[in-house]
Chain A
């Protein structure tokens, strides 16, 4: 990792201020130090080039696992080919029974009727869709394609793009909670060189379980974490000192996360998997955790058979969860500083298969929510007549989308992170 001088927490400065900080670090975990001083994550002097992007901005990534059917989410109801290739599965035009939801100002393209929650955000001008996102030589394996999206590398053999973002922007001491993933395993996307992201499935599992065995272990366990004989200078070379500090960090951040999540939210969330995860994210944002990127995951989109009902239920869950999350942020007054990005590893084939489902395909839309997001439809819908062996041809490479997220929202140069110059248009609205 490189060290920048201007970085307020660079190790060099840390050592210069050794005397005062040493006494502080001996009793206070890094985590608290930062919050106590009201410092958000020390991302140096990163300022977005885009006007109006706040300093303390947050990115929330929603992963739809299994390959979401883009064509039945953003519906090309103006296309005859769509109805010809999907005789049973196609969503009807707006106005028909259970027809698509019309999108203002767009001709022939609507939203799946189950996406009402998302549509409402679009109508308010705080949600947008990028159409036809993919990459060359599409890989139709769930695992490989997901790896490609996570690494932003055509071979899927690099570390994660968000992880590399942290590597590039956080110098010196790693930030314990820069990235938080809901789930048992940290996603590859968040893994960089310097540190693993924090991940937990439920807040109540983000703790030591020994007190369940014997509640009387609480006190001696507490003493373990509070034992202090650690200074930042020793930590430079002593693994023991490093572990003692991290144990204290873990203890404090476990308390803080569990306390944050235990608070009832300002709005009612639906009772669904995704809504539950976003509720936790909302609670952590509200508690001002110093987290830059949150990551949540919903699976089940691999709809090979009898797709219609199953897919509608999933989209309803997504739309309503995103809606409740945005309302929560509004009630908190945090809606201006959070952007949500939704993606899936691929779309599905244009033609339905023999079991009223769809098989693994290629390009698909991405969805964004946030006050600064350019609202409505972005890009062009992929052609349904010009196909590649029955699959859509992408109009936008996902790395150009990542580039805009990194440059315009996160305020960093995307070239090193994405291994080349990918930046084209901005996802954010003007000024």
Chain B
């Protein structure tokens, strides 16, 4: 069992494999040259470089990147004539409206697919990996699904919101922002939460899933009263709107304190609870450090307590917590290498970014992620993706192996026969640096290095022997076809699912 803590690591121990661990966890991995560059910065600089990502230049996302008008509500005139058609039973007109609506829904689903592809490409290409990794984290934390929202532009805006504030202030930016977010308001029905008939959905999830954790320091009455504070929090077009007419102006009693609270006050009250810092730290810990099931060990408990303390001391700023974590002995503890299971998105993006395969076809990759259980913008429920072992079963394992194979070769199950000549992927760059070192067994070195590089954990000796024997059978050279075959095997091994 690990005994390491959040104590800072000795910068001199920050070697190539630690740098790779950092890049895998705080991003989506990278080529050998990128890992080396990160290592050469030293631990402090490397972490700052990843964390202060806004200093890194990247093409800004424009608000008009996508069409905001597809699902915009009908005009007043349109609505009036629709009502008339309904009253007079004008079937032909009603049919026309239905068709129009279906056309808009179809167009919007198409745009949602385009946005999915756009985000995946961004994760693959970005010079700010931690920004996208955090965007994915918050998408899973403040999980919002496209279907009930039925507005791809609102999903895009929410995605942008996570991108903008991913490493910002948990309370002031993220939680205060999410109760004003149109997609979330729609998803949790807060647009139907009004004075006369409160809807408790947002108030409940705000405490249960977003901040305190299930049953941690609140009662059913706190939910009911909290829902009243959020009455009138709605949206119009693409913007938050406070509808004073629907807001309950009477006094509410939350956590034993009375007052004429509004939604903003409700958030402040939640963050005054002692449990407020713990839950989010647990989720960050599972996402970035270790997602093995079961309760936390003593060492982990101590780490979580310190993370929570840092978060409270920094007044809910996330950067100090993440910086402390990424620079800690605990983060680099051997026990935490390979202790996470790659999400489908991580699997795909890391495969491309670290092995440097072509990105192939983004649509196919997004579909594959869906088959593996993670369709972006479509989390299975408001709880988001459970992650960890939940990603894996006998069928998703084959899809994972075959998706890696597709990235390596460009061949999917529809295309027969294989044409390895057209694979248009060269793996030589992965082992180039081993060339020309005299007095070494280059085959063994190459196999050991590739296994360690791709598997996040030191290789088992019998694996090494099996595959050294395999390469030697093929002529004992790490040429392109042999490297490709070797990578096909490496990506099919169970260890490849580890991060």
Partner-B contacts on A (CB < 8 A): 141, 143-144, 147, 155-159, 174, 176-177, 184-186, 188, 191, 193-200, 205-210, 212-214, 217, 220-221, 223-224, 227, 229, 236-240, 242-244, 246-247, 249-250, 253-254, 351, 353-354, 359
Question: Please, could you name 12 A-B residue pairs with CB atoms under 8 Å apart, sorted by A?
Answer: A159-B383, A196-B373, A196-B396, A198-B393, A213-B411, A213-B485, A224-B489, A227-B463, A239-B339, A243-B494, A249-B394, A354-B91
Least CB distance, A255 to chain B, in whole angstroms: 11
Interface size on B, residues (CB 8 A): 62
Question: Is B431's CB within 8 Å of the partner chain A?
Answer: no
Q: Which residues of B contact A194 (CB under 8 A)?
A: 390
Residue of B nearest to A245 (CB): B494
Q: Mark B83-99, 1 if CB is under 8 A from A, else 0.
A: 00000000110010010
- The interface residues of chain A lying within 8 Å CB-to-CB of B98 are 359
Is there contact, CB below 8 Å, between A237 and B292?
Answer: yes
Residue among B339, B383, B398, B485 with the highest chain A CB neighbour number at 10 A: B398
Q: Is the CB of A198 within 8 A of B488?
A: no
Contact of A243 among B145, B381, B392, B467 (CB under 8 A): B392
Which residues from chain B contact A212 at a C-beta distance below 8 Å?
416-418
Residues of B within 8 A of A159 (CB): 380-381, 383
Which A residues lie within 8 Å of B381 (CB)? 157-159
Contact partners of A354 in chain B: CB under 8 A: 91-92, 95
User: Which chain A residue has the least Cβ–Cβ distance from B462?
Assistant: A227
Chain B hits for A157, CB < 8 A: 145, 148, 187, 381-382
Interface-central residue, A159, A227, A239, A250, by most chain B CB under 10 Å: A239
Q: Which of B3-11, B326-334, B401-409 contacts A (4 or more CB under 8 A)?
A: B401-409
Q: Are B371 and A240 in contact (CB under 8 A)?
A: no
Q: Does B173 contact A (CB under 8 A)?
A: no
Residues of B within 8 A of A242 (CB): 389, 392
- Chain A residues closer than 8 Å to B386, beta-carbon distance: 193
B147 touches A143 (CB 8 A): yes
CB distance B405 to A210 under 8 Å? Answer: yes
List, in ascending order, chain B residues with CB within 8 A of A143's CB: 147
CB distance from A300 to the nearest CB of B (A): 17
Question: What residue of chain A has the Cβ atom nearest to residue B416's Cβ?
Answer: A212
Report how far A214 CA is from B417 CA in the complex, Å: 11
Q: Does any Cβ of A come within 8 Å of B460's Cβ? A: yes
Binding site for A on B (CB under 8 A): 91-92, 95, 98, 105, 145, 147-148, 187, 189, 291-292, 294, 338-341, 370-371, 373, 380-383, 386, 388-398, 401-402, 405, 409, 411, 413, 416-418, 420, 457, 460, 462-463, 466-467, 470, 485, 488-489, 492-495, 497-498
Contact check, A185 vs B370: say whether CB atoms are below 8 A apart.
yes
Interchain nearest-CB distance for A186 vs B (Å): 7
B190 CB, nearest partner CB in chain A, Å: 13
Q: Which residue of A lies closest to B109 (CB)?
A: A143
A180 to B148, CA, bound (A): 27
> How many whole Å from A253's CB to the nearest CB in chain B?
5
Contact A240 B338 (CB under 8 A): yes
Q: A239 contacts which chain B residues (CB < 8 A)?
A: 291-292, 338-341, 388-389, 498
Which residue of chain B lies nearest to A194 when distances are taken between CB atoms in the complex? B390
Given A184-B371, A209-B405, A224-B493, answer yes or no on A197-B147 (Cβ-Cβ < 8 Å). Answer: no
Q: Quick one: given A213-B405, A217-B485, A353-B95, are A200 and B498 in contact (CB under 8 Å)?
A: no
Nearest Cβ on chain A to B336's Cβ, whole angstroms:
11
A144 CA to B187 CA, complexed, in Å: 12
B295 to A: closest C-beta gap in Å: 10
- Give bound CA distance, A242 to B391, whole Å: 12
Nearest B residue to A163 via CB reads B380
Given contacts A240-B338, A240-B498, A242-B389, contact A177 B145 (CB under 8 A): no
Q: Which B residues touch A196, using CB under 8 A?
A: 373, 390-393, 395-396
How far is B416's CA from A177's CA once the two chains are assembled, in angstroms?
30
- The closest CB in chain B to the CB of A11 belongs to B294
Q: Which residues of B contact A224 (CB under 8 A)?
A: 489, 492-494
Complex CA gap A96/B399 in Å reads 52
Q: B411: which A residues are within 8 A, CB to CB?
A: 209, 213
- Bound: A92/B91 CA distance, A: 25
Q: Contacts A158-B381, A239-B340 given; 10 further ones with Cβ under 8 A?
A: A147-B147, A157-B148, A159-B383, A206-B395, A210-B489, A223-B466, A239-B389, A240-B498, A243-B498, A353-B95
Q: With A and B bound together, what is the CA distance between A155 and B489 in angstroms? A: 44
Taking CB atoms, residues of chain A closer than 8 Å to B420 are 213
Indicate if the CB atoms of B488 and A210 lie closer than 8 Å: yes
Q: How far is the CB of A259 from chain B (nearest CB, A)?
A: 15
Q: How far is the CB of A32 from chain B (nearest CB, A)?
A: 13
Write the nearest CB–CB distance from A151 to chain B, whole angstroms: 8
Q: Which of A200, A220, A247, A353 contacts B466 (CB 8 A)?
A: A220
CA distance A242 to B95 in the complex (A): 55
**Which residue of the partner chain A has the closest CB to B389?**
A242
What's the least CB distance linking A282 to chain B, in Å? 19
| Bound CA span A206–B401, Å | 11
Say yes or no: A208 contacts B393, CB within 8 Å: no
Interface centre among A196, A217, A242, A254 (most CB of B within 10 A): A196
Minimum CB distance partner of B392 in chain A: A246
Q: Is the pair B488, A213 in contact by a Cβ cutoff of 8 Å?
A: yes
How far, in angstroms, from A214 to B419 measured CA to CA in the complex? Answer: 11
Measured in the bound complex, the distance between the Cα atoms of B457 and A351 in whole Å is 64
Q: A185-B371, A213-B488 are in contact. Are A254 and B394 (CB under 8 A)?
A: yes
Partner of B397 from A156, A186, A246, A351 at Cβ < 8 Å: A246
